[in-house]
Amino acid sequence: MTRDPKAPEDVPKLGPRNTRQRTAVINALWSIPNFASAKEIHQALEEDDAKVGLTTVYRTLQTLSDMDAVDVLHMPNGETLYRYCHSDEHHHHLVCTVCGRTEEIDGGPVEDWAKRIASQYGYTITGHDAEIFGTCSDCNDPKKESASH
Binding-site annotation: residue ranges for Zn(2+): 96, 99, 136, 139
Annotated binding site: 90, 96, 99, 111, 128, 136, 139
Give the integer Cα–Cα distance in Å for 48 and 43.
9
Annotated binding site for Fe cation: 90, 111, 128
The DSSP letter of residue 36 is B
